[in-house]
Amino acid sequence: MQLITGISELVTNAASAEGTDESSTSTHSTTEVGQLNVITDAAIIIDGERVAWSGPAAEADAALARLGSGSGDAADTIAENVETIDLGGKAVIPGFVDSHNHLIFAGDRSAEFAARMAGEKYSAGGIATTVAATRAASDEELEANLVHLLDQARRQGTTTFEIKTGYGLTRDDEIRALHIINRHTEESTLIAAHVVPPEYKENPEAYVDLVIDEIIPAAAGRAKWIDVFCEKGAFDEDQTRRIVEAGKAAGMKPRLHANQLTDGGALQLGAELGCISVDHATFASDEDLAALAAAGTVVTLLPGVEFSTRQPYPDARRYLAAGVTLAIASDCNPGSCFTNSLPFCIALAVRDMHFTVDQAVWAATAGGALALQRTDVGHLGAGARADFVVLDAPSYRHLSYRPGVHLVERVVAGGELVADNRPRL
Ligand code: NIG
Ligand code: FE
């Protein structure tokens, strides 16, 4: 066991602001929407991959004794087996849950980004450039690129990753992407309906049939999620409905890329289809928001996309006032947004989407977990996975107060130190 003390602020996102103790509950604790639950002068006890207890430092000894009595060992044996780490006054938050990523790709589109910054508009068509480069790449190249991006993101505090296919767009290329994804995360998403590939340009319906009749059956059991880019220039609402229904019938859970570029009916369709999350939602009417709130669909906002495409930022205050639960994710991809930094996305969300600091930190941790239907991550109550970030700062507020500064000092995932950004001799 490890006892971590010297935590100036511990963001638990756990349902109770008091100490949480596994021995007092039959299952692990849960989160309450929007509640950060910050404990000042806190401690946390880790047992293997899990949080055994978190709470005020003054109560840590009593918690250790309780946990020890449950194990049947004498108190002095417990004390000998506890490693104590004193952080000396740093903030600790749950690891970021990045619920939207396109990380299986090859090639570079920095010229497209530069052209956008010089006035060009983003369009779905750029995806085809990455499709050509991805098809031409070897499995080893694709996996090496993925590993590199995951490592970068971990160093910035991300401990849970969703990863999508979508740059293969043939049965074999989509399935090989899933094979690679399955080696790195359980949050695997099939988005064969990303765009219509060039070879089906004259007959998009034939591609929709291929997705339904061949790609989805081959992906069953390998993809947890089915996703569609429902947008002008990609897939219309009727095609989206058919593809999502086929994915659901094959055991996948639904999520959508919806209303990224235009204010079509994709958000209400997402609510109707029982999507766990609809992502982007850059454009949303009051009716869209009411339908999503009623359906309990999470809306995942992607501030890096608005930043990188110069689109207008949606106003989080409107979405929250409508009763919608918000998550924040990076959408790391080579086209519309090539950042994998959740601290950067949090800073943007606060500054430009009008999240409060607390709402943004919650949305990038507990919100991401809800968007992936995960109860074991995104919080630090007893029973949660021991996934957390030590900040080189006294308060979690510094994440947006000090934009662009590397505040992620250490990252622990499943009780293991997976990134350490402290300077070394
Ligand atoms: O989430 N919108 C669709 N897919 C990605 C962009 C993909 C690309 O431009 O390569 C997105 O923004
Ligand atoms: Fe995306």
Give, using CA atoms, the residue closest to atom 11 of ligand 1.
Answer: 336
Q: For residues 349-377, b (16+ Cβ closer than 10 Å) or e, as one string?
A: bbebbbbbbbbbbbbbbbbbbbbbebbeb
Cα distance between residue 253 and residue 266, in whole Å = 17
Q: Which of 105, 112, 127 to mutate to test the pocket of ligand 1 (most atoms within 8 A of CB)?
A: 127
Report whether residue 126 contacts ligand 1, using a CB cutoff of 6 Å: yes
DSSP labels, 342-386 = HHHHHHHHHHHS---HHHHHHIIIIIHHHHTT-SSSS--STTSB-
Rounded Cα gap, residues 192 and 312, in angstroms: 28
Residue nearest to atom 5 of ligand 1 (CA): 336
How far, rounded to the nearest angstrom, does the alpha carbon of residue 237 sit from its chain's CA centroid?
Answer: 25
* Distance (Å) from CA 77 to ligand 2 centroid: 51
**Ligand 1 midpoint to CA 305 (Å):** 9
In the 8-state DSSP scheme, what is residue 333? Answer: B
First to last CA, the chain: 29
Q: Is the CB of 130 under 6 A from ligand 1?
A: yes
Query: Which numbered atom of ligand 1 lies nearest the CA of 191?
Result: 4
Superfamily of domain 96-371: Metal-dependent hydrolases (3.20.20.140)
Of 85, 61, 87, residue with least CA distance to 8 = 87
HSE (CB half, 13 Å, CA atoms) of 145? 20
The angle at the Cα of 265, spanning 261 to 271, to the nearest 5 degrees, equals 110
Cα–Cα distance measured from residue 222 to residue 288, given in angstroms and rounded to the nearest whole number: 32
Instruction: Give how far the C-alpha of residue 200 lies from the chain's centroid of Cα atoms, to the nearest Å.
Output: 32
Residue identifier of the C-alpha nearest atom 1 of ligand 1: 331
CB of 260 sitting under 6 A from ligand 1? yes
pLDDT of residue 26: 37
pLDDT digits (tens, 9 = 90+) for 302-322: 999 999 999 999 999 999 999
Locate 103 and state its tokens. 């990380």
Q: What ranges do the domains of the chain cover?
A: 2-95+379-420, 96-371
Q: How far is the CA of 314 from the centre of ligand 2 (A)?
A: 16
Residues in the chain predicted with pLDDT less than 50, given as ranges, are 17-18, 23-28
Give the helix ranges, DSSP H, for 25-184: 60-71, 75-80, 110-117, 127-136, 139-155, 171-182
C-alpha–C-alpha distance, residues 38 and 379, integer Å: 11
Pocket test for ligand 1, best of 113, 194, 332 (most atoms within 8 A of CB): 194
Q: Which of 91, 130, 93, 90 is nearest to 108 (CA)?
A: 130
Q: State residue 18's pLDDT score.
A: 47
Q: What is the distance in A from the centroid of ligand 1 to the CA of 312? A: 16
What's the confidence (pLDDT) of residue 24?
46
Separation between Cα atoms, residue 238 and residue 230, nearest integer Å: 9
Give residues with Cβ within 8 angstroms of 176, minimum separation 6.
Answer: 139, 142, 168
Give the model's pLDDT for residue 81: 85
Is the CB of residue 240 below 6 angstroms from any atom belonging to ligand 1?
no
Architecture of the domain made up of 2-95+379-420: Roll (2.30)
pTM over 0.75: yes
Ligand 2 midpoint to CA 190 (Å): 12
CA of 170 to the centre of ligand 2 (A): 19
Q: So what's the pLDDT on residue 226? A: 99
Query: 87: which residues sit within 8 A by CB, 6+ positions away?
Result: 4, 5, 6, 7, 390
Instruction: Indicate whether residue 304 lines ligand 1 (CB < 6 A).
Output: no
Q: Report which ligand 1 atom has the smallest distance to the Cα of 279.
A: 1
- Residue 329 beta carbon below 6 angstroms from any ligand 1 atom: no
Q: Which atom of ligand 1 is found nearest the CA of 305?
A: 12
Q: What is the pLDDT of residue 33?
A: 85
Determine whether the shortest distance from the Cβ of 127 to ligand 1 is under 6 A: yes
State whether residue 255 is helix, strand or coil.
Answer: strand
Question: What backbone phi and psi angles, to 5 degrees, belong to 30?
Answer: -120, -175
* Residue whose CA lies nearest to ligand 1 atom number 7: 335
Please give the structure tokens belonging to residue 32: 């309450």
Closest ligand 1 atom to 280 CA: 1
Cβ atoms of 83 and 3 within 8 Å: the answer is yes
